[in-house]
Every structure is written in C-alpha cells, then in structure tokens.
Chains A and B, each alone.
Chain A
Amino acid sequence: MARYFVDIWQAVSSAMVGMSITIKHIWKKPVTLQYPEERQVLSPRFRGFVHNDMNKCDACQICARTCPVDCIYIETEGKGKDRWLTRYAIDYNKCIWCSMCTEGCPANSITMSHDYDHSVYFRESLVYEYVDPTVKKIPCHKEKRIELGYHVMVKPEKKKPVEKPAAEKPAPESTEADDKGETK
C-alpha cells in the first residue's frame, strides 16, 4: 500500500521537475537559425562543392584516379605537346565530398569551396562541366602552357607562390559553369 502512494508521489514530482525544465526553455533564445537569412559560420576546412581552377589544371588525372566513386570525368585529345583538355566534369550525383581529390592535386587547382546549397531541377544538371571545348580548350603540355600563359606547377624547392599571375586571368567558364555560379 505504501508503494502505491510512493508511486503516485514519484509520478507527480518527477513530472513537475520535467515541466520546470521545459518551461525554462521558453525564455531562452532558440538555438536554430533562420536558414536563408542567417547562415552558419563555416570552418575553413568545411567541405562544400568542389571547385576546380581551370587555369591551374593540366589534366594529370590524379584526382580522377583518387576519387573513390569515380565522379570526375576528364577527357583529352591529342598527344604530347598537342594534348588538349576537352572535358573536365564533376558528377555530383556521385560525389561524396570526401576531399580526397584535393589532397593529391599537384597543382592545387582542385579545392573544396564553401558552397553547399545548390539545387537543380534535373539529375543531368548535376554533372557540372568546367570546360567547353567549343569555346576554349586547355593545353596540357607544360611548354604549351607556359607559351599560352597558363599556370604551371612549380617545383617544391623553389618555395615561391606563383598563384598571382594565374589569378588575374579570367577563368574560362562554360555556359554550364555560369548556371551553377561556381565561384568560390
């Protein structure tokens, strides 16, 4: 019989304690963000959509090989000095934002941006094209790249940042690239 009343007392008192906790939160400021207006502060290492600087990329294919899900498509034509990059595409149907492509990149051209909220109407539009061969092809051979003023990979012992001249040049962007607003 005592147990019966103890149970009732416990039920009432524990409910009261719980309710005192919940009522406290009414006056606290909510922790959620009003998303489109208020944005989260992203850390520098945040892995958003992949960005490839086409001035620096020389189609060495390392990123495509490192990619665990094969979401980077690189197509070239020609051989030797006359080798041109005709397609560089990242398929976001597959991409898993693992950042492995950025680690291996010898030219530091592929990076993770802080964009994270793109949306498209069709699956096909998730394949982001970076090069439009009808507008411009990208040279792959080192000499050709120097000749045409593209960025070339610098040997590590030089320790001199060469990003500056490359950044001045306008990035060759295709129409597709315009759509997605892929700027870092």
Chain B
Amino acid sequence: MANQETKMNSGWADQDHVPGIKSELMELNMGPQHPATHGVLRLLLETDGEIVHKCTPVLGYLHRCAEKIAEGINYKQFVLYTDRFDYLAPVCCNHAYVTAVEKLMDVEVPERAEHLRVITAELSRIASHLIALATFGLDMGAWTPLLYCFREREAILDLLERIAGGRMLYNFFVPGGVRYDVPDEKWTADVLEFVTMLETKKVKDYNQLLSYNKIFIERLADVGVISQQDAFDYGSTGPVLRGSGVSFDCRKDDPYSVYPKFDFEVPVGRGEMGTVGDCWDRYMVRVREIEQSCRIIRQAVDTMPGGEVHAIGLTKPVKLPAGAAYSRTESSKGELGHYIISDGGQMPFRNKVRSPSFCNLQIIEKIGVGQMVSDLVAFIGSLDIVLGEIDR
C-alpha cells in the first residue's frame, strides 16, 4: 500500500518543487550503531524526506570466520561455535549441525536423546520468539512488553541452565545425542508447568497488550508486504515465508529428528489486519508458533522414553567417513542448513552454513524501498534478524 503510493511519488526528488530550488536525495547511514538494527547491521539509505528511495544493507561487522574455523577443529568442538550463530536460539543451531554430522556418520541417535533435543530446541525457539516479540515491541516504542517477554525468557533460561549448565550458550548437543540427561524428575514437571503458564496466561497478555493494540496494528498492517512470489524469489524461510501465507516448515515438510511423531500446526499469515504478508502477519506467526511449540513440548515430555542419551561416548572423538551431507532444520528464524564435506578425518574439509537470517535479510533491498523510515524500522523488526547468524 504505502509501497505503491510512494512509488508514484518517486519522481519528486528529481523535480524542482519550487522553481530555482533543486532538492536532492539525502544519504542516511543507519547503523551499525543504531537501536533499531538489532545488532551491527548497517543500512545505507537514500531518503527523500521520510521516504526511503534506496536501501543497501552492509554486512560483516560481526564476522567471525566461523566456517573457516570449522575446518580447523573437530566435529565435537564445532558444536559450540554453532551456539554463537543465532545466540537467541542456540539449541536450534546445534540441532542443524549435529543432524548434518549424524547424517554423514550414520549413527542411530537414542530415542530419549531425540526427545530431549526436541524439548530443548522448542524451548529455545520460544525464547527466541519471545525476544523477537520483545524487540519488535521496542522498535514500535512499546517498552513494557520487552520486560515481560524477558521475564518469561528468564524462566526458559533457568530450565535450560538446569539441564545444560549454560544460561545462554548451552553446548548441549553432541553428535550422537545430547550431553546430559534430565537433571532430576522435577525438571520435566517444571517444563510442563512453564509451558502451561505460558500458553494460558502470558501469550494472552502479550496479545492484549501488544498484538491487538490499535496503534500497534495501525503501525504494521499493510506495511512491508512481502508477496508469496517475492518470498520465493528471495529465498525467505521461516516466519517470514509463513507470514506471506506459505505453509512451509521443515519440521513438517522435511521432517528430521522425532518431529513426525508430534501433532502440531504450522501457523501462516492470514492477512487479518491488512494484506497477507505484512509486518503484523509475520509478527503474529511468531506468537502462534509459541503456542505450537508449547504443544510440541507437552507431547515430547509425555512420550519421552527411557534409555541412554548419547550413542557415542562424550569423550570419544568423532570421525566421519569421506563424503558430503546437507541437513536442513527449522530454526526459530527459518531454514538453517549445514553442508559438511568430510575427507575422512576428524575435521571437515568444508562446512557451509545456510543461515536463515542472511537469506531473509536480502529482501530488504526490494521491500524497503518506498517506505517511510519508521516503516523500515518496523520491517527490520518483523524480519527478526540476528546479526550473529548473518555474519557468522
């Protein structure tokens, strides 16, 4: 909507509004130090007043050569580098990597370990989505939901700390299983209790406080509309793709781990408040995914079998046969893939990461044009990018 209107106006800058006075586009440097760019993303904007005419993302401020490092350390050690990709949902990133390694290694992961993986990954996904809601609210100027979401995230961190030992970077998965079993019987009960609390009370609170607030809806409806075709063209995945009305979820459409066992829905954008694929849809997909994750966790806890939690010993080195494997998993941001080429040693020959934030971000060059600066902020927020994953 805003898109079309402003496209018509895009000739303004070249014309003389007032005879004799020439106006020109203003170049604006948004980031790397900017509160709305979620880290160190830099956007080079060309603006005509408030309207953005050109938007070029500049990346690389957080580049840590993770893919190159992978070639120098063994498979077990690299798991904890994957924690640092998407530091808001580290367990999901672990999952992608160990899936790739196991594919190549051809190892049977114990059922209990798979269940623990699903539980922690979904907890991590909830935590990540909570941050997405929180920071999105913050971008829109609502401060209070930020603290509420962080409060609930804190409970998740406590749960994950009890099972994995870390509060932010867990290093919980190992090729062939998970590092530890549940700490005590109370843990599963606490997980269920938290999930119920989140489902029944908190999500409702967020919806009332933020999602269905009129100002919030007005800010987001019909803003930054990504059409289905655009989403396909730019390789968007995850909530960004689902926000455009495409029901695609790796957990469902290309199942891995024990996800096929569980019954859950894939929420898609329905254009309730405006066009399908606007910022509000993408936001709402995340809220609904929190509820679905809760469902998955409940089922996973209920059906968790006993037994071992790692197939290979923790201390044993992992050696992969020569070959290549690609895994695709659904992280909280979208399809996260690891492509590993092994030459038969303890270290990979090459490890390529397909990170969802990176692929989701590129669409900004197209959709960002013609929006107001405030809408661009909303758009970036709705993409929910994590710079740690973009730059790796």
Chain A in direct contact with chain B (Cβ < 8 angstroms): yes
A31-B154 in contact (CB<8A): yes
What 0/1 pattern do residues 7 to 40 of A give for CB contact below 8 A with B?
1001100110110011000000001000000000
Q: For residue B262, which residues in chain A have a CB less than 8 angstroms away from its CB?
A: none
Check: B165 CB closer than 8 A to any chain A CB. Answer: yes
Contact A104 B169 (CB under 8 A): no
A119 within 8 A of B: no
Let me know if B169 and A96 touch, CB within 8 A.
yes
Q: Which one, B144, B163, B214, contacts A45 given CB within 8 A?
A: B163
Among the listed B80, B162, B171, B210, which residue makes an inter-chain contact with A43, where contact means beta carbons less than 8 Å apart?
B162
CB distance from B284 to the nearest CB of A (A): 15
- Complex interface: chain A residues within 8 A of B169 (CB): 96-98
User: Could you tell me the distance between the alpha carbons of A31 and B183 in the complex, rounded to whole angstroms?
Assistant: 25
B212 A45 Cβ-Cβ under 8 A: no
Interface size band for A: 20 to 34
Question: Given the known A-B contacts A100-B77, A103-B314, A103-B315, are A46 and B213 also in contact in the complex, defined by CB atoms under 8 Å?
Answer: no
Question: What's the nearest-Cβ distance from chain A to residue B51, in Å?
Answer: 24
Q: Is A112 an interface residue when CB atoms closer than 8 A count as contact?
A: yes
B166 on interface, CB distance cutoff 8 Å: yes
Decide if A52 is an interface residue (CB 8 Å cutoff): no
Asked whether A45 lies within 8 Å of B162 as measured between CB atoms, the reply is yes
* Nearest neighbor of B212 in chain A, beta-carbon distance: A14
Using CB atoms, name the residue of chain A closest to B163: A45
By beta carbon, the residue of chain B nearest A106 is B315
Cα A17 to Cα B210 in complex, Å, equals 10
Determine whether A47 belongs to the interface, using a CB cutoff of 8 Å to chain B.
Answer: yes
- B16 interfacial by beta-carbon distance below 8 Å: no
Judge whether A45 and B164 touch: CB under 8 Å. yes
Output the least CB separation between A81 and chain B (Å): 27
Any B CB within 8 A of the CB of A133: no
On whether the beta carbons of A11 and B76 are closer than 8 Å, the reply is no
Please measure, in the bound complex, the distance between the C-alpha atom of A104 and the C-alpha atom of B174, giving whole angstroms.
Answer: 14
**Cβ of B161: which chain A residues have Cβ within 8 Å of it?**
42-43, 45-46
Q: Which of A41-91 contact B (CB under 8 A)?
A: 42-47, 66, 68
In the complex with contacts A43-B183, A45-B163, A18-B80 CB distance below 8 A: no
Say whether B315 contacts A68, CB under 8 Å.
no
In the assembled complex, which residues on chain B have CB atoms less than 8 Å from the CB atom of A11?
A: 214-215
* CB closest residue in chain B, given A41: B158
Assembly CA distance A120 to B77 (angstroms): 28
Tell me, yes or no, whether B26 is within 8 Å of chain A by CB. no
The interface size bin for chain B is: 20 to 34
Q: Please name all residues of chain B whose beta carbon is closer than 8 Å to the beta carbon of A15 when the two chains form the complex.
A: 213-215
Contact: B165 with A46, CB < 8 Å? yes
Give B215's nearest chain A residue, CB to CB. A11
* With A22-B209, A100-B77, A103-B314 as contacts: A47 and B154 at CB distance below 8 Å: no
Check if A99 sits within 8 Å of B215, measured CB to CB.
no
CA distance A24 to B208 in the complex (A): 13
Type the 1/0 row for B64-108, where 1 means its CB is closer than 8 Å to any CB of A. 000000000100111011000000000000000000000000000
Answer yes or no: B254 CB below 8 A from chain A CBs. Answer: no
Q: Is the CB of B73 within 8 A of A68?
A: yes
Q: Are A68 and B81 in contact (CB under 8 A)?
A: yes
Q: Does B193 contact A (CB under 8 A)?
A: no
B151 at the interface (CB under 8 A from A): yes
Name which of B151, B214, B314 has the most chain A CB atoms within 10 A of its CB: B214
Known: A43-B162, A45-B163, A104-B315. A99 touches B171 (CB 8 A): yes
Known contacts A68-B73, A98-B171: A18-B166 contact under CB 8 Å: no
Please give, as numbers and ranges, the residues of chain B lying within 8 Å of A31 by CB-CB distance.
151, 154
On chain A, the residues within 8 Å of B209 by CB distance are 17-18, 21-22
Q: Using an 8 Å CB-CB cutoff, how does the interface string of A99-141 with B read, 1 for contact, 0 for none? A: 1100110000000100000000000000000000000000000
Q: How far is the CA of A44 from the CA of B164 in the complex (A)?
A: 10
Taking a contact as CB atoms under 8 Å apart, the answer to whether A17 and B208 are in contact is: yes
Known A-B contacts A15-B214, A43-B183, A47-B165; A21 and B205 likewise in contact (beta carbons under 8 Å):
yes
What B residues does A97 contact at CB under 8 A?
Answer: 166, 169
Interface string of B130-150 (1 = CB under 8 A from A): 000000000000001000000
A44 contact set on B, CB distance < 8 A: 183
B180 interface residue per 8 A CB criterion? yes
Q: Decide if A18 touches B208 in the complex (CB within 8 Å).
A: yes
A183 to B315, CA, bound (A): 26
A66 contact set on B, CB distance < 8 A: 77
A184 CB to closest chain B CB (Å) equals: 15
CB A156 to nearest CB in B, in angstroms, measures: 13
Residues of B within 8 A of A98 (CB): 80, 169, 171
- Please, which residues of chain B bring their CB within 8 A of the CB of A10? 214
In the assembly, what is the distance between CA of A45 and CA of B171, in Å? 13
Q: A43-B162, A46-B161, A47-B165 are in contact. List 11 more A-B contacts (CB 8 A).
A: A14-B208, A14-B214, A15-B215, A17-B209, A31-B154, A68-B73, A68-B78, A99-B165, A100-B76, A100-B80, A103-B315
Pairs across A and B, CB under 8 Å, 9 listed = A14-B208, A18-B210, A22-B209, A45-B164, A46-B161, A47-B165, A97-B169, A99-B171, A100-B77
| A contact set with B: CB distance below 8 Å | 7, 10-11, 14-15, 17-18, 21-22, 31, 42-47, 66, 68, 96-100, 103-104, 112
